[in-house]
Structure 1
Amino acid sequence: MNGPSVPGAARPGTDGSAAPGTVWPGTPIEVLLAFLKLGLTAFGGPVAHLGYFRTEFVNRRRWLDEAAYAELVALCQFLPGPASSQTGFALGLLRAGPWGALAAWAGFTLPSAALLVLFAEGAGALSASAWGSGLLHGLKLVAVAVVAQAVWGMARTLCPDRPRAAIALGATALATFAPAAIGQVAAIAGGAALGLALLRDGAAPPAAPLPAVPVSRRVGVACLLLFALLLGLLPLLHGLGGGVAVFEAFYRSGALVFGGGHVVLPLLRDAAVAPGWVAEDAFLAGYGAAQAVPGPLFTFAAFLGAVLRPGPGGALGAVLPTLAIFLPGLLLVLGALPFWAALRRRPAAGAALRGANAAVVGLLGAALYDPVWTGAVLRPTDFVLVLAGFLLLTLWRAPPLLVVALGAAAGTGLGLGLEAVVD
């Protein structure tokens, strides 16, 4: 479902970009409010975020259908950058144009960035208490249920036959045993290649599964050139120091990581700790806090900017690193989407996309095990709570926000109970 049709909307251009005067089915305010809710409640890391996005925008709001969502996820997993933030940016772009894209990014990113700045200022004692650590653990268990629901629902839709189920299984194995960045890219590329070889006789994809992309090819090329220019030119200017050096270090970190999430942490350590801008113990404390807040892990850059010395510190110091680390991934989305819309119309591309979509299911399955399951399910009680959350989401169709609230309450209760036992 691509949203309700809008009377008087212009036809998209032949390259998949929007024709002048196009009326989009949503507004930037609608997009901002939808993503702000997720920015305040989407715990669990990038894979869980993709599950929350699917529940909110495919199942509940019906901004797009399962196949279109899987295509966006496949594209953003294949590009360097924070995959969940790129997917959200693309959803906002398709729903409400460029302002919708910025609204989606702001709504999903700013809550966690603000919380990490507060933590940097000394307001991060939550995990030190039994009830606080229990609350955070309950939220991790909710994330397991959300990811499991996403894997189950996408597998039923995108892996309906033996070849695609086999591709998904192979992608799971590859992502489980290969290094994170290599495994992700190889799984999607391999899924596309197998789809090209095995799935040419399948039903053709819908004529236009995605809404018209409000970015022309010319703008797309400009964004790709700007991405490459900044990546090549900024290291030459690093010696100038000050804000230029900070921007270069965080831009490089965002540009050279695939899949986002925890993969970016070694790059950020090299960017901030190695030059002496941030102390090792402060870096580790901020890393722990970044795992405890909702929203994208890339907002760890906001914490680092807030404690970075020399620098203005606080909220002002957080602005430049936060913008720098997200910018390359968003430029790549803007650059790739116009060509993606044109490429996918070809029959061979449709077969490759079916294979890539099956591989995405496999990647989510691998991530469901590690780090989502292994990092949260530590005792039999945890398993029961995860199963309860999964059943609430799949059978009772409970709103994700209600499941988040119940999981947080259950985790808090368990934390206080364990403290009482220890005492």
Structure 2
Amino acid sequence: MPRRSGTRTRRVRGIIFLKDVALLALTAFGGPQAHLALMFRLLVDKRRYISTAELLELQALCALLPGPTSTQTITVIGFRLGGPNLAYLTLLVWITPAVTLMTLAGLTLSHLDPVRVSGLVQFVQPVAVGFVAFSAYRIAQKVIHTKTSVALMVAAAMLAYFFQLPWMLPLLLLAGGAVTTVRYRRHAIIQEKKPLRIEWSNFLLWLGILVGAAALGHYTQLLPVRLFENFYRNGSLVFGGGQVLAPLLYAEFVEFKHYVTGPEFLSGLGLVQAMPGPNFSVAAYIGALAMRPAGGTSLQVVGALVGAAGIFLPGTFLIFFAIRFWDRLRQYRVVQASLEGINAVSAGLVCAATFLLYHPLPYRLLDLPFHLGPINTLPLNPLLVGSTFLLLLWEKVPSVVIISIALAAGALLG
């Protein structure tokens, strides 16, 4: 009876977790940094599935691997809570809304007006920056406790801000961990360490599909197979998220393969910024357009599914490979000591993301209904960012309400 009760409790908790993932998938606008901010608010502060330090640790581990970081992070949280089955369900629930919307965008490209979409989300973008700023504040509050951590956070924020290079993120995380490993003697020795065993099955699965898809595409020349191989290869090579993925896909599918035109690609890139969920879902849009020569809506849907599967599977296999031995690896004092530096660098990266996401916002002015001396207008975006930060600090307004208000304002005023 106790075992059956425990199984039922885990199943109920898994269902609640999947509902939370679905809520995030429908409201997580703004890219991976904003996704992390919403994960902190819902999964850590409200639900307490994991701690702040654990989420930062998992996010840093995912950032060291190729693939979509926010997708890998939420998938591995599902793995921690319910094993592989819950992890795969988490992945499906997380990517389904964005993939569905981008598939529809690919199917109805000629009927979409990117200008109207931009008007709809014009207030969502600064609100998302407010979420990231609040996330930076909460992370620093919880993981920055020493002068070394402060120095690493500031240095990481400055370097990430001034040197926006694909390899900078994993390099900073490794460097931060290396700095604090010298303090490993301060950590208690674990007397009964579990032996470090590495299960190679997921790594071999990732490598086997990579080689097998390339060979199958070369010999069959079937367009869906070649599309899968193209996306799978790109998903296996990209570090740094959707911003780094975009130029790779542009070179592959526009300049080299000519599957989509430049304006079509840029329209899709703009649309995916307006969608909730992972930016990697742009693969579904490209896949649908790439299958146009084959003819028929059903084949375009196949192309979208092939694109989504190809882009998301590599990162999933690799994080499943790493997480299985990570808990045993972190038993060692050197690894424990490195986590202080990794967490401090992670906090710095979120600080840098706040400014990096703010700069591209268009300059807007708010006309005041009354005059404050010579002032009759105020900059709108700083007001939205600051208001979002204060609402989150107040902790009375749910994230979904803030996003919904921003969307409604965009619909009315766009």
By the TM > 0.5 criterion, same fold? yes
1:162 is the counterpart of 2:161: no
C-alpha contact 2:187 2:333 (8 A) present in aligned 1? no
Question: Which whole-Å CA distance do the structure 1 matches of 2:385 and 2:299 have between them?
Answer: 40
Once the two structures are TM-superposed, the CA of residue 205 in structure 1 deviates from its matched residue by 11
Partner of 1:200: 184
* Aligned-partner residue type, residue 231 of structure 1: L
Partner of 1:373: 358
The more displaced of 176-185 and 70-79 is: 176-185
Q: Give CA-to-partner distance per residue, 1:166-204, whole Å, 9 cap, x none.
A: 11112112222334321101110101101112x436566
Once the two structures are TM-superposed, the CA of residue 394 in structure 1 deviates from its matched residue by 1.1
**Which secondary structure does the structure 2 equivalent of 1:180 belong to?**
coil
1:34 to 3, 15, 20: 20
Partner of 2:342: 356
C-alpha contact 1:27 1:100 (8 A) present in aligned 2? no
Give the alignment of 1:304-343 within 5 angstroms.
Answer: 304-309=286-291, 310-311=293-294, 313-343=299-329
Once the two structures are TM-superposed, the CA of residue 229 in structure 1 deviates from its matched residue by 3.0
Question: Which whole-Å CA distance do the structure 1 matches of 2:325 and 2:355 have between them?
Answer: 34
Provide TM-score, normalisation by structure 2: 0.86
Once the two structures are TM-superposed, the CA of residue 304 in structure 1 deviates from its matched residue by 0.8
Question: Which whole-Å CA distance do the structure 1 matches of 2:141 and 2:362 have between them?
Answer: 25
* Aligned-partner residue type, residue 317 of structure 1: G
Once the two structures are TM-superposed, the CA of residue 150 in structure 1 deviates from its matched residue by 0.8
Question: Which whole-Å CA distance do the structure 2 matches of 1:395 and 1:206 have between them?
Answer: 41
The more displaced of 118-127 and 402-411 is: 118-127
Question: Which whole-Å CA distance do the structure 1 matches of 2:75 and 2:61 have between them?
Answer: 12
C-alpha contact 1:29 1:103 (8 A) present in aligned 2? no
Structure 1's unaligned 5+ residue stretches are 1-5, 10-20, 208-215, 417-423
C-alpha contact 1:76 1:333 (8 A) present in aligned 2? yes
* Aligned-partner residue type, residue 388 of structure 1: S
C-alpha contact 1:41 1:294 (8 A) present in aligned 2? yes
Partner of 2:393: 394
Partner of 2:78: 92
User: CA 1:317–1:98 in structure 2 vs 1: closer, same or farther (change >3 Å)?
Assistant: same
Once the two structures are TM-superposed, the CA of residue 377 in structure 1 deviates from its matched residue by 6.1
**Which secondary structure does the structure 2 equivalent of 1:354 belong to?**
helix
Partner of 1:151: 136
* Aligned-partner residue type, residue 235 of structure 1: A
Question: Which whole-Å CA distance do the structure 2 matches of 1:35 and 1:155 have between them?
Answer: 25
Partner of 1:212: none
Instruction: Count matched residues.
Output: 388
Once the two structures are TM-superposed, the CA of residue 74 in structure 1 deviates from its matched residue by 0.7
The more displaced of 80-89 and 259-268 is: 259-268
Identity across the alignment (%): 33
Once the two structures are TM-superposed, the CA of residue 42 in structure 1 deviates from its matched residue by 0.5
Q: Give CA-to-partner distance per residue, 1:312-351, whole Å, 9 cap, x none.
A: 5432221111101111100011000011110111111111
Question: Which whole-Å CA distance do the structure 1 matches of 2:166 and 2:8 have between them?
Answer: 38
Partner of 2:251: 270
1:294 is the counterpart of 2:273: no
**Which secondary structure does the structure 1 equivalent of 2:122 belong to?**
helix
1:253 is the counterpart of 2:240: no
* Aligned-partner residue type, residue 142 of structure 2: T
Question: Which whole-Å CA distance do the structure 1 matches of 2:347 and 2:61 have between them?
Answer: 13
**Which secondary structure does the structure 1 equivalent of 2:200 belong to?**
helix
Q: Give CA-to-partner distance per residue, 1:215-273, whole Å, 9 cap, x none.
A: x956x411012223333454344423213211110001101011212110122123322
Partner of 1:189: 174
C-alpha contact 1:141 1:407 (8 A) present in aligned 2? no
User: CA 1:126–1:95 in structure 2 vs 1: closer, same or farther (change >3 Å)?
Assistant: farther
Once the two structures are TM-superposed, the CA of residue 93 in structure 1 deviates from its matched residue by 1.2
The more displaced of 120-129 and 55-64 is: 120-129
1:105 is the counterpart of 2:94: no
**Which secondary structure does the structure 1 equivalent of 2:210 belong to?**
helix
Provide TM-score, normalisation by structure 1: 0.85
**Which secondary structure does the structure 2 equivalent of 1:276 belong to?**
coil
C-alpha contact 2:37 2:131 (8 A) present in aligned 1? yes
Question: Which whole-Å CA distance do the structure 1 matches of 2:386 and 2:78 have between them?
Answer: 32
* Aligned-partner residue type, residue 254 of structure 1: G
**Which secondary structure does the structure 2 equivalent of 1:200 belong to?**
helix
Partner of 1:125: 112
Question: Which whole-Å CA distance do the structure 2 matches of 1:205 and 1:184 have between them?
Answer: 30
C-alpha contact 1:148 1:390 (8 A) present in aligned 2? yes
Once the two structures are TM-superposed, the CA of residue 25 in structure 1 deviates from its matched residue by 7.0
C-alpha contact 1:120 1:303 (8 A) present in aligned 2? yes
**Which secondary structure does the structure 1 equivalent of 2:167 belong to?**
helix
| Structure with larger Rg | 2
Partner of 1:12: none
Once the two structures are TM-superposed, the CA of residue 127 in structure 1 deviates from its matched residue by 3.7
C-alpha contact 1:138 1:409 (8 A) present in aligned 2? no
**Which secondary structure does the structure 2 equivalent of 1:277 belong to?**
coil
User: CA 1:43–1:396 in structure 2 vs 1: closer, same or farther (change >3 Å)?
Assistant: same
The more displaced of 230-239 and 60-69 is: 230-239
C-alpha contact 2:123 2:409 (8 A) present in aligned 1? yes
User: CA 1:236–1:173 in structure 2 vs 1: closer, same or farther (change >3 Å)?
Assistant: farther
* Aligned-partner residue type, residue 394 of structure 2: L
**Which secondary structure does the structure 1 equivalent of 2:259 belong to?**
coil
Question: Which whole-Å CA distance do the structure 2 matches of 1:22 and 1:203 have between them?
Answer: 38
